[in-house]
Amino acid sequence: MINSKNEMKNLISKMTLEEKIAQMYQLYGGVYDFPEEEGSIPVTGPAEEWEFEEQLLFKIGSVLNVNRAQKARKIQKKYLENNRHEIPLMFMYDIIHGYKTIFPIPLGSACSWDMELIEESARVAAREGSVSGINVTFSPMADLVRDARWGRVMESPGEDPLINEKMAAALVKGYQGTDLKKDDTVAACVKHFAAYGAVEAGREYNTVDLSDYRLNNYYLSGYKAGIDAGARMIMTAFNTLNGVPATGNQYLIQDILREKWDFFGPVISDYGSVSELIAHGYAKNGKEAAQKAVQAGVDIEMVTPEYIKHLADLVTEEVIAEKKIDTAVERILNLKYDLGLFSDPFRYINESGEEKYHLCSTHRKKARQLAAESMVLLENDGVLPLKENLEEVTLLGPFADSGKMLGNWSGEGDADDTVTAKEGLVNELPDETELNVYSQIENISQGKFLDIIETVKKSAATILAVGEPQSWSGEARSRTRLTLPEPQEKFIKKLVNVLKEEEEELNLVLVLFNGRPLELEWYSENIPAILEAWYPGTEGGHAVADILLGQVNPSGKLTISFPYSVGQMPLYYNRYSTGRPPMDQEVEKKNCSRYLDVPNHALYPFGYGLSYTEFEYHNINLEKNKITAGETNQLNFALKNSGQYKGQEVVQLYIKDCYANRVRPILELKGYQKISLAPGEKKNISFEITEEMLIYFDENGQNVIEPGAFEIYLGSSSKDLRECGILEYQI
């Protein structure tokens, strides 16, 4: 029994080199395939391929993807009976946006701009995961993403560093709570370090090549925010960064993570990324891959066998100092101690807790709330909210009555437990409203199409529930076309064209279920109402009904830009200007930085989202025009709900550095507040403008703040802005 961290070094001194190296290895949980009768454990999966010795099962430090309390208990018990030092096993899992109760994908949740609610979603996930035996979750993903072609954009908060920082911190606090030793917590692992979201052409596992200036100003702050919030582990990325794979990158792990940020927890490779150093051409064989990963500072190898096969020889040959192994093992054991596993190896495992917490009504209520707040109203020409006492409503599309709206990385979520759009509407529509449902719209016969047309004509409203199949978003799901599936696209255009030809009223609502921004220019011009629902999770159908029927006023704002065309990728609002920026629209465009066929800007920009009500900004006042070092400034204004519905407005503060010794973005989000107002209500609001909002990082990652002029803007998106004045900063 280890009673304090001071005893850890003594424990390590009693361990053999083989035992220490085994603690640095993570194996897939499926290897522990216990037979019902007593006896040996069959070795299966990847371990079988490299002649894995059965006895090593009782020495390794952690396992991946054991997802039920009963199995976790069985494995831990057998492990402890066979481990010479009674060191507990650690269980890890990808809890990304829920464990059993699934919340919206992270990109969707970010669009709520409600970090308290996002933190609560992580608390729910931690509670559900911990009773099933999970100790560590591989979340949050703090990869900044500007290219919607990348499938894992669905796991990201989007394109803005501030939102990335806030969300990473919120998720860490939610998972870990205030005391990691409490039973309903899990340790957070920030990933993927670093800059994985910047892969070239949005292609999975691809190259990343960034200047240190851009890396420091955009891509690193999300990871650091997670670490500053207390995250206990960090995961390396699959990509190279400036020619060096992240899993063998001493600059990232030693210089930045360990020395500059003083991170003390273990670093884990991503799945197989140590062996992948060979495929990168960075290591000639497995032995060199193990050497380079350990020298870079990777404490745990996930799944591939290079540490187990080669570290002992590398220590014997004095290529790797045994002290380096000891340091890595101490980090791993300290995490187990902080998780309370040395005092009670079974404390996370609670079979009755699974019955109590998984999909409980309290958790479902939170999932429904976050799903509704994540949805973004992109277009509304008076169709929404749907009017009361509708006689007939038609629901069309593959997502009309499907629970497959959880999205990728949805833990132990099940489509059968998910509220579909049909179920949500049936539960919320008045009993007298007739709901017609056509789930199959792709590749249908002409006769079936004509039946649908007749039903649509007599309906007061028609809802098109369409989007990407779940398999189109997530890891290894890169796309070169950001369109709806072709059969869906053909059906919708045919439907709209027939209704227009017959001069029928277009009471159409497009509800999108997807994991990335899509090209929607045609739909924006031809469909009167568009709701971006993302993959909304377990309570998605109820949340959709809440929005469509006006029980919840949409308040979501995009945290990633929607393009006119995939050819604009990568697309982001906080870009640099050029020496030849586009001229005024009235002036002939010659020899400036532009496209010939689409605008430079987004179709739906960062921060954009409509409401059923309207908000007015009044009495905008910047208290001071000048500040000096150490001073702050105040921006005051009044916000009024001038519409007929109670609503929430995400008020956004942007700053532009007018000139500097480095080219600065044309605009940067520096603050935001989510304000709730009743119809006719008016509130006085203020932002404090600090020196921290005026700094940037140089290529060495050092803070830079220069005297100069800063334009201050206030608004409801990165395009809908009000000029607040110019602030002069003096040193």
Q: Predicted confidence band at 37 (pLDDT cuts at 50, 70, 90)?
A: very low
pLDDT of 491 > 50? The answer is yes
Per-domain residue ranges of the chain = 5-96+187-347, 364-567, 615-730
| Mean pLDDT across 2-30 | 92
Name the CA radius of gyration of the chain, rounded: 27
Report H helices in 147-200.
161-176
**DSSP assignment of 27-46:** EEGGG----SSSSPPPP-HH
Domains 364-567 and 615-730 belong to one CATH topology: no
| Mean pLDDT across 112-122 | 98
pLDDT for the residue 542:
98
Which whole-number Å values give the CA distances from 155 to 135, 151, 191, 235, 562, in the listed order?
21, 9, 11, 15, 17
Taking the CB of residue 432, how many other CB atoms lie within 10 A of it? 8
Q: What are phi and psi of 9, to 5 degrees?
A: -60, -35
Share of the chain above pLDDT 70, in %: 96
Q: First vs last Cα of the chain: how many Å apart?
A: 57
Q: Supply the angle between the helices 221-228 and 161-176 in degrees, to the nearest 10.
A: 30
Q: Predicted confidence band at 50 (pLDDT cuts at 50, 70, 90)?
A: low
597 a catalytic residue: no
Under DSSP, is residue 85 helix (H, G, I), strand (E, B) or coil? coil
Hunting for tokens 């080219």 — which residue is that?
663
Element (H, E) at 47: helix 45-49
Element (H, E) at 396: strand 392-396
- Bond into 581 cis (ω within 30): no
Share of the chain above pLDDT 90, in %: 92
The class of domain 5-96+187-347 in CATH terms is alpha beta
Pairing of the two strands 461-467 and 392-396 = parallel
Q: Predicted confidence band at 6 (pLDDT cuts at 50, 70, 90)?
A: confident
pLDDT of 519 > 80? The answer is yes
pLDDT of 641 > 70? The answer is yes
pLDDT of 587 > 80? The answer is no
Taking the CB of residue 705, how many other CB atoms lie within 10 A of it? 16
Does domain 615-730 sit in CATH 2.60.40.10?
yes
pLDDT of 1 > 70? The answer is no
Compute the C-alpha angle 502/503/504, nearest 5°.
Answer: 90
Comparing 585 with 12, which gets the higher pLDDT?
Answer: 12
Element (H, E) at 225: helix 221-228
pLDDT in tens, 161-210: 999 999 999 999 999 999 998 889 999 999 999 999 999 999 999 999 99
Looking at 363-372, 382-391, 518-527, 670-679, which range is the least confident one? Answer: 382-391
Count of CA atoms in the C-beta half-sphere (13 A) of 713 = 19
Sheet holding 633-641, edge to edge: 615-622, 633-641, 682-689
- Bond into 485 cis (ω within 30): no
Residues 6+ positions from 225 with CB-CB distance below 8 Å: 142, 164, 165, 166, 168, 169
- Bond into 140 cis (ω within 30): yes
pLDDT for the residue 34:
59
For residues 304 and 274, is the Cβ–Cβ distance under 8 A?
A: yes
Residues 6+ positions from 352 with CB-CB distance below 8 Å: none
| Mean pLDDT across 106-122 | 98
Taking the CB of residue 83, how many other CB atoms lie within 10 A of it? 17
Using CA atoms, how far apart are residues 273 and 293, in angstroms rounded to an integer? Answer: 9
Using CA atoms, how far apart are residues 350 and 478, in angstroms rounded to an integer? Answer: 38
pLDDT in tens, 312-326: 999 999 999 999 999
Comparing 58 with 583, which gets the higher pLDDT?
Answer: 58
Using CA atoms, how far apart are residues 27 and 52, in angstroms rounded to an integer? Answer: 11
| Mean pLDDT across 129-136 | 97
Asked whether the CA dihedral 531, 536, 541, 545 is positive or negative, the reply is negative
Q: At 85, list the tokens.
A: 């030092």
| Mean pLDDT across 18-33 | 91
Q: Predicted confidence band at 47 (pLDDT cuts at 50, 70, 90)?
A: low
pLDDT for the residue 589:
65
Residues 6+ positions from 344 with CB-CB distance below 8 Å: none
Q: At 500, list the tokens.
A: 């227009």
Pairing of the two strands 267-268 and 508-513 = unpaired
User: What 8-state DSSP symbol labels residue 196?
Assistant: G
pLDDT of 353 > 60? The answer is yes
Using CA atoms, how far apart are residues 261 and 255, in angstroms rounded to an integer? Answer: 9
Q: Supply the angle between the helices 286-296 and 306-316 in degrees, to the nearest 10.
A: 80
**DSSP assignment of 421-487:** HHHHHHHHS-TT-EEEEE---TT--HHHHHHHHHHHHH-SEEEEEEE--GGGSSTT---S--S--HH
Q: At 296, list the tokens.
A: 């870079």
pLDDT of 39 > 50? The answer is no
**The domain 364-567: what is its CATH number?**
3.40.50.1700
For residues 88 and 147, is the Cβ–Cβ distance under 8 A?
A: no
| Mean pLDDT across 459-480 | 97
| 47: Cα separation from own chain's centroid | 31
Taking the CB of residue 607, how many other CB atoms lie within 10 A of it? 27
Torsion of CA 519, 384, 419, 404, to 10 degrees: -10
pLDDT in tens, 415-436: 999 999 999 999 999 999 999 9
Using CA atoms, how far apart are residues 227 and 221, in angstroms rounded to an integer? Answer: 10
| 182: Cα separation from own chain's centroid | 25
Under DSSP, is residue 682 helix (H, G, I), strand (E, B) or coil? strand
For residues 254 and 220, is the Cβ–Cβ distance under 8 A?
A: no
pLDDT in tens, 54-101: 778 999 999 999 999 999 999 999 999 999 999 999 999 999 999 999
Catalytic one of 270, 299, 546, 657: 270
For residues 286 and 310, is the Cβ–Cβ distance under 8 A?
A: yes
Hunting for tokens 């216990």 — which residue is that?
34
